[in-house]
Structure 1
Amino acid sequence: MKICVFGAGAVGSNVAVRLADAGVGQISVVARGAHLAAIRSHGLSLRHADGEQWHAHFDHATDDPATLPPQDIILVALKAASLPAQADALRRLLAPDGVVAFLSNGIPWWWNYGRQQGSDALPLLDPEGALWNRLGPERAIGTVIYSANEVETPGHVLHRGVNRYVFGEPDGRLPGRAGQLAELFSRAGLGGETTDDIRYEIWRKLLRNAIGSPFCALTRLGSAHCAQIPGLPDIQRALALEMANIARALGSPITDEDALRAAETQLASNGRPSMLQDVLLGRRIEAEALLGQPQRFAQELGIATPYLDTVVALLRGLDRALALDA
């Protein structure tokens, strides 16, 4: 089996090393820059915060996916805003019966596939419909990730906490393809699971992302420090309740109690979300997938979201500043 990790950054590197270490197939990685150079020269090292370590070399490591053979499974670990530009590369790389799993946070580009209401691309996430029309949502597997990772230096990645990856079919089919991925991830110690309602799982994770990541990015503080700023936790809780209201309107049974429980969990954490890591490194952030698209859903449904509207505007301003400085 040929498996490509397309975007071997923090999350992708963790997955690539563990799959290679488990010997589940021929593992290739698509990376770039100094990180790719280090992988080619010395392989890729992964260490857990508790001291456990892994090291792997790969069948192929490249910044040009066109040099790779057709892949049975592509695990895409790019930021959401980077995906549309890769639609053709992913289509060419995918074997005829292959599948693509998107290891990303927030609302995915394929969201409308298989839904009774909505049957087209989401303009905020797939502006020209490149992913929808060229790759095709029928090739996608939905994924929700619980895995905190950070590239410490090129070729060296730190993993904190747990690994949990939940796979599901966008159209709600029984999890045949998703089950295969869950089994591979479980064999690699990555905690693979399946669900018959991937959108519900996406909302559950999105609650935590929305409560934590934007505020860490805007303040440049870790989660624990954000929780100590007077008034900020109240804003985070209010945003969580708005997100739960949108989720319910779209058919996912997220209760206010679920939202407040997620808020308290996030406020008690002590992490550095990926959005904060991106800001500190001067990289653009996932404003639309995390909060912009939920805001668009709310607007279409006529739901008032004053806290969400404010945070989205601030995040878009931050992202614009990062783009200008790039």
Structure 2
Amino acid sequence: MLREFSERIRAELPPLQRICVAGPGAIGITLATRMALNGLQVTIAARGQSLNVIQENGLQLTDVYGKHTVRVPVAEGPDIPPQDVVFLSSKAQDLASIASWTQNLIGPDTIIVPVINGIPWWYFEGEAGQYSGRNVKSVDPDGCLKRLLPSAHVIGCVAMFTADRPAPGTARSLNPLRLIIGEIDNEPRVRTEALAKILIRSGIETRVSERVRDPLWTKVIGNLVFNPLSVATGATLRELAGDSSLAHVSRQLLNEALLVAASFGARVEMSPRQLLDFTKSMGDAKTSMLQDYEMGRPLELAAIVDAVLEFADLQGLPMPFTQSVTTITRYRSLTSTGQRSG
């Protein structure tokens, strides 16, 4: 299917003029604001309080370039016509809902860019080997995402920056904005280069990867090592990688995750030492999962941890440290939200 789709793409694409960001969370607001500042025609797909706030106040972003306010069209997904590019920016557990709600945005040649944490539903799409086309059961147990978001339209994306949303329609991102994108079947296409160009012009450092699963695993491993442990301990990134006792636990989690990544042929782009040093350099920032926990929100454990455990099980690899930390994290989450009884 991917190859059939690519044959319909001309040698030169028309400008990617109609761009929609579905899900105005911290990352979505950051991307939409930067592209709107570059003069691109950006629409926000939103609902509820976010829809009302953005209609009234526009988008507000504080980033490394300063403070910005932009006015952009905003509407509910079913009211927006087909787009050239759709960024799906949400928590992994909300993706099926957003995918269903934004079907009207997807035309014959629409590029879909999911900007999410963890192992994506498309991981085995476009891959050869024994797992080709397999569902990632932890994130897409019934194949809903695969049906709603055809793989031929999908470009893989890894966000290598952090952001938070202090209020609806408002985001802060005070580290360099970096994205890595790539075709999920590893075939070069003009559309990917065209997308990278508009992102770069918008002030977002963007690299096209010929093997997008490699940087994906780098991000997944960082999330798996530090996110659940931050909820279990309440520690900041500096403490998770710098405190001697916590750094020891982090290193055990890192070793388990690296073995799973290697078993699927991934070339992780940072050494263990580099990953720990980079994390420590982030200072006293809280992980996104710790922020969600403190706000009483659901945690992205399925995509960040359960999917990796699923992959480990496929290869017969034990992950005892990961299992233990995840159990503690899930218990704390369920207890804090009142979902646990007895």
TM over 0.5: yes
Partner of 2:33: 17
Separation (CA, whole Å) in 1 of partners of 2:47 and 2:232: 27
The one-letter code of the counterpart of 1:245 is: L
CA contact (8 A) 1:184 1:192 kept: no
Deviations 1:47-69 (A, max 9, x none): 12x5711111112x13x200111
Native 8 Å contact 2:81 2:104 kept in 1? no
Q: Share of identical aligned residues, percent?
A: 27
Distance 2:105 2:137 in 1: 25
> How big is the shift at 1:291?
1.3
5 Å matches for 1:142-157? 142-157=156-171
Q: Does 1:82 align with 2:94?
A: yes
Number of residue equivalences: 321
Q: What does residue 107 of structure 1 align with?
A: 119
State the alpha-carbon separation in 1 of the partners of residues 65 and 155 from structure 2.
32
* Structure 1: gaps spanning 5 or more residues: none
Matched, 1:31 2:43: no
Q: Secondary structure at the match of 1:231?
A: helix
In structure 2, which of residues 297, 300, 309 is the aligned counterpart of residue 295 of structure 1?
Answer: 309
**SS of structure 2 residue aligned to 1:161:** coil
Preserved CA contact (<8 Å) 1:167 1:179: no
Q: Which moved more, 1:26-35 or 1:93-102?
A: 26-35
* 1:320 counterpart (314, 326, 334): 334
Aligned-residue offset at 1:228: 5.9
* Alpha-carbon offset, residue 319 of structure 1: 4.1
- Which ranges in structure 2 are unaligned for 5 or more consecutive residues? 1-16
Counterpart contact for 2:78–2:102, Cα < 8 Å:
no
- Do the aligned partners of residues 226 and 79 (structure 1) sit closer, same or farther apart at CA in structure 2, a change above 3 Å counting? same
- The alpha-carbon deviation at position 325 of structure 1 amounts to 5.9
Please tell me whether the aligned partners of residues 85 and 112 of structure 2 are also in contact (alpha carbons under 8 angstroms): yes
- Residue 12 of structure 2 corresponds to which residue in structure 1? none
State which drifts further: 193-202 or 258-267: 258-267
SS state at 1:148 partner: coil
- Conserved 8 A contact 1:207-1:259: no
Q: C-alpha offsets along residues 116-143 of structure 1, whole Å, 9 cap, x if unaligned?
A: 2321321110121111123222221100
Deviations 1:6-46 (A, max 9, x none): 1111010000111111012x211123443332211111111
Letter in 1 for 2:67: Q
User: What's the TM-score, normalizing by structure 2?
Assistant: 0.87
CA RMSD, Structure 1 to Structure 2 (Å): 2.1
Which deviations, in whole Å up to 9, do the C-alpha atoms of 1:260-281 show, x marking residues without a partner?
3212321342222211221121
> Normalised by the size of structure 1, how large is the TM-score?
0.92
Contact 1:241–1:260 (CA under 8 A) maintained in structure 2: no
